[in-house]
Amino acid sequence: MKKVRIALLGLGNIGQGVWRILNTNRNEITMNCGYEIEVARVLVRDRNKIRGVQIPKEILTTDINDIFNDSGIKIVVELMGGTEPAREYMLGAMRRKKHVVTANKLVLATRGEELFKAADEEGVLFYYEASVGGGIPIIREINESLTANRIEKLVGIINGTTNYILTKMTHEGMDFNEALKEAQQKGYAEADPSSDVEGYDAVYKLAIMSSLSFGTKIDLSSIYREGIGNIKTVDIDYAKRFGYVIKLLAIGKETDNELELRVHPAMVPKTHPIANVNDSFNAIFVKGNAVGDLMLYGRGAGDLPTGSAVVGDIISILRNNVDLSNLSSQKNGTVTKKVRNASESSSEYYIRLDVKDRPGVLGEIAAVFGKHDVSIFSVSQDVKNKHNVSLVFITHEALEGNVAESIKEIGTLDRVNNLENIIRIENFN
Ligand code: NAP
Ligand code: HSE
């Protein structure tokens, strides 16, 4: 049996998952790729840290040159996270003719172009299946199975941490911070969990998927972003009352050569399959002009699911034969398509206001919506205290710009205390 030596950069949640899979499934992996895989080196920050896996201390190193200068190491697997030194180390590995696998969506979304170029120049493979959707094989699906299609739409739950938090808040009435703490303990959250909670992690993943699906470069600032920090138990309860569930959605669409790219919480009908994607599970709907609608579903975060995608990439490289060069890495967009401004997109909206309980207030607000061409589907009123009520409007489909203008004007009305929340409703029409 042929042997291949590889190196891991990082031995945290995912690095340990990869180590476990390589050991537990050693026989299957060897049979599937025709190589015995030896982890020759593992780069860490602290060699003395207690790890959740038993690993010979002599293979741990804090010096990247131990990996760069070992010409016997053919594949470098980056599982450190962050932009630097991950970018520098991956480039360094490619320049030394080593193939690279990564799970790092941040570096791909921000510095991907440079890495793809270097991989092409050096004739090495650069695979990144684990960067989107954890264990779900979405990158390979877009790149290979669906490559005969023009992809029209992507809608996904692509962040496990926020889906875990929203699930716990919805089904167990758990407090936001408690649910986040659990997600961190389970190894789903990023080192800085605000990247998950504020929607940045989903933005990076949407950028990677959209670049592949729509064949375009993506400027991250063109993706509209809202996180889940503003979702309150009361919104979750209203959603239930109206037949919805709140999810953090990532949406990418192409119409008339223009893209719409957004990440935000949305109310989705509780009867839709996406409403039942719970905990750390992710789901991605893809609409292709030939295949029609399809959905991929699976664990979007965690050591073994993510490790499964990483080891799958290692095996793909080995099947392509590590010693061959001039192999093509997964394609990414080269042109730049126009991204529509969020104000030009349209949706139905849930709008919750805190108002003074006085005659005429409802009419006043309704008149403002009417003036800005926002049509009301329903309104509910709940008493908050002796003088104030909660008013919840559900609109028909309206232009985001018109809704924003209405809200601005409603905020100036004397009898309106506060705009409590505004959440899009995605009915998948
Ligand atoms: P993690 O638990 O924080 O582990 C990071 C590892 O990298 C640690 O072992 C750390 O060493 C090492 N490291 C960090 N900076 C280093 C440096 N400058 N030099 C040497 N070693 C360094 O992170 P993780 O959750 O495994 O995530 C790893 C990557 O996978 C990230 O890009 C993340 O976005 C991605 N990802 C994560 C998940 C998930 O569910 N967690 C899912 C999909 C993708 P020490 O242990 O010595 O500190
Ligand atoms: N922090 C990410 C998530 C890890 O929660 O989805 C998977 O990319």
pLDDT tens, position by position, 263-296 = 999 999 999 999 999 999 999 999 999 999 999 9
The active-site residue, picked from 98, 168, 205, 253, is 205
Residues of the chain with CATH 3.30.360.10: 147-299
Rounded Cα–Cα distance for residues 350 and 278 (Å):
22
Q: Is 81 in the pocket of ligand 1 (CB under 6 A)?
A: yes
Residue nearest ligand 1's atom 19 by CA: 45
Is residue 325 pLDDT above 50, yes or no?
A: no
Arithmetic mean of pLDDT, 227-231 = 96
Q: Is 103 in the pocket of ligand 1 (CB under 6 A)?
A: yes
Entry pTM: 0.95
Q: Is 15 in the pocket of ligand 1 (CB under 6 A)?
A: yes
Arithmetic mean of pLDDT, 231-253 = 97
The second-level CATH assignment, the architecture, of 2-134+304-319 is 3-Layer(aba) Sandwich (3.40)
Pair 48, 30: CB distance under 8 Å: no
Percent of the chain with pLDDT over 70: 97
Residue nearest ligand 1's atom 17 by CA: 45
pLDDT tens, position by position, 125-144 = 999 999 999 999 999 999 99
Rounded Cα–Cα distance for residues 387 and 392 (Å):
17
How many whole angstroms from 44 Cα to the centroid of ligand 1? 9
Question: For the domain bounded by 345-425, which CATH number is listed?
Answer: 3.30.70.260
pLDDT tens, position by position, 51-66 = 999 999 999 999 999 9
pLDDT band per the 50, 70, 90 thresholds, residue 343: confident
Burial 172-203 (b: 16+ CB within 10 A, else e): eebebeebbebbbebbbbbeebebbbbbbbbb
Q: Is 7 in the pocket of ligand 1 (CB under 6 A)?
A: no
Rounded Cα–Cα distance for residues 310 and 304 (Å):
10
Nearest to 288 by CA among 132, 143, 147, 140: 147
Question: What is the atom index within ligand 2 of the atom nearest the CA of 195?
Answer: 1
How many whole angstroms from 323 Cα to the centroid of ligand 2? 33
Query: Among this protein's residues, is 205 annotated catalytic?
Result: yes
Among 51, 80, 84, say which to mutate for ligand 1: greatest number of ligand atoms within 8 Å of CB: 80
The ligand placed nearest to the CA atom of residue 78 is 1
Residues of the chain with CATH 3.30.70.260: 345-425
The ligand placed nearest to the CA atom of residue 81 is 1
The class that CATH gives domain 147-299 is: alpha beta
Peptide bond into 269 cis (omega under 30): no
